[in-house]
Amino acid sequence: MQKMPYLIVISISLLFFLSCSHVSADETVSVEITIIDQPAQFENEKPRVIAGLWHIATFNGIEDSNMDILLTMYKGSILPLQKNITNYYQWKYTPLAVNSWQQTTTYGNKTINPDKCTVDTDLISFCIGIPDSLPSKIFYNEEWTFELSMSNKILYQDIFYLEKPTKGFAKSHGDRLSFSVDPFTEMNAEASDFLILKNTGNIPLNITLDFNALDNLLNYTESSSQISAFNQQNYRLEINTPSWKPQRIQQSGTASAYVSDYFLLDEEISGTAISLKTALIIDVPTINIFVGHNRYQLTTLDSSTGFSFQYQKSLSMAEGEIRTINSYLSGEGTAKITIQTNNNISVIQVNRNDLPANSPITVISTDENEQVISIKLKALSENRDGKITYIVETDGDIKSFTTKIDVGPPATTNQPSAIEGTSLVTIIVLLALIIVASYMLYNHLVHGRSERR
């Protein structure tokens, strides 16, 4: 019976120790733990450490950084009795030693990087890593404790979560990446949409976009070559084109994501983190480039030479309107173009490259420029369609292209009439004057007769 008070005291002491193990031992000391050069990650408001990767653990508020300082990390909230690579690591800073930064545990060598450790008057930063010996489950984590001590005094103690390194890579947005480029012009153009790449894992990813033959022409704005954990980047594409002849270009592409060696512990001790070096590759939307005149149809007449014809498929005109309509021939080849219209279109003039021409027109074209066929025409009657037909003959092949013209009513000037342009007040005043004048005339006539009698 006399032993009971001792058991009670021991139990209370143990409970007190456990209750204090998750709080700071010195309220003036604070800590930040991050993967090197990355933002901090948290789980339930506690730091997250990713196994197999280098981290910087910075403690601020150190009163005397000239003393030996120990950083200890262990699984759970109580020091393990059997220490091994799965549950316990410790590192030491010794100011007066030849090698000031050392690992004290005999297993798992190379878990500290002295070149990235720093010390100052009131802070100390350890660059350390815990090898990945966690179960092969994505985002698996364990609760660990870290404590900083000096001269057997705990300066800081709290929990953190040791988590399995997990890669994840995805895309969204930007289902179509299209460019519209003027022919025979060097220019800069922006894609019609943008691409979003997402890092859905807990480790930073280096990103490479590959569009093969177009790579040296493309620039990416609002983007970075690296995406932090659980983050995303917008990739807006710009293209710097050479002088291209009219054509359509399609180029598929891929995005690759990999983990840089910069973040990884040495392969000998990094555990399953070695597999992180394998790149993740996903397809990205195909780039479509239209090289031609805006709102024109482009047809390739000869696929081997790229000989092509461009025309407008439809347009609108008013009755009596006169307009010049262009079509374009380009590429290596010879063609004969015959122009026909229906009876609701009157052709005033046909030109080739600003010089008068008669249909049919024989054209010899090269890759250096394009031939411009201009038709000056007049729309005749409203509510009847007009039509231009181009008959293009090339090496025995004949193709027809039709421009449909919707002819509407004549254009109006919308000038107000004399009455519409007169205000209501003016009309009332005029009416009053007319009434007064009529009354005066009436009195004059009536009284004038009476006086003559």
The percentage of the chain sitting over the pLDDT mark of 90, rounded to a whole number, equals 69
| Cβ-based neighbour number of residue 438 at 10 Å | 10
Instruction: Spell out a b/e string for 45-81, using b for 16 or more CB atoms within 10 Å of the CB, else e.
Output: eebbbbbbbbbbbbbeebeebeeebbbbbbbeeeeee
Distance from C-alpha of 194 to C-alpha of 199, rounded to nearest angstrom: 17
Helix (H, G, I), strand (E, B) or coil at 100: coil
- CATH homologous superfamily of 4-163 equals Immunoglobulins (2.60.40.10)
* H helical segments located in 148-232: none
**May I ask the CATH class of domain 169-291?**
mainly beta
Span 259-309, pLDDT tens digits: 999 999 987 666 666 678 889 999 999 999 999 999 999 999 988 888 999
pLDDT of residue 201: 96
pLDDT of residue 278: 87
CATH (one of 3.40.50.1820, 3.40.640.10, 2.60.40.10, 3.30.2320.20) for 297-408: 2.60.40.10
Q: What stretch(es) of the chain map to CATH 2.60.40.10?
A: 4-163, 169-291, 297-408
| Mean pLDDT of the 170-194 span | 91
| Mean pLDDT of the 130-155 span | 94
**Which range, 8-12, 27-31, 169-173, 423-427, has the best average confidence (pLDDT)?**
169-173
The H or E element spanning position 288 is: strand 280-291
The reported pTM is 0.75
Question: For 405, left (φ over 0), alpha (ψ -120 to 50), or beta?
Answer: beta
* H helical segments located in 278-353: none
Place of tokens 């289902």: 175
| Cα-Cα end-to-end distance for the chain | 155
Distance from C-alpha of 146 to C-alpha of 74, rounded to nearest angstrom: 7
Span 320-332, pLDDT tens digits: 999 999 999 998 8
Q: Indicate whether 22 pLDDT > 50.
A: no
Place of tokens 């995303």: 232
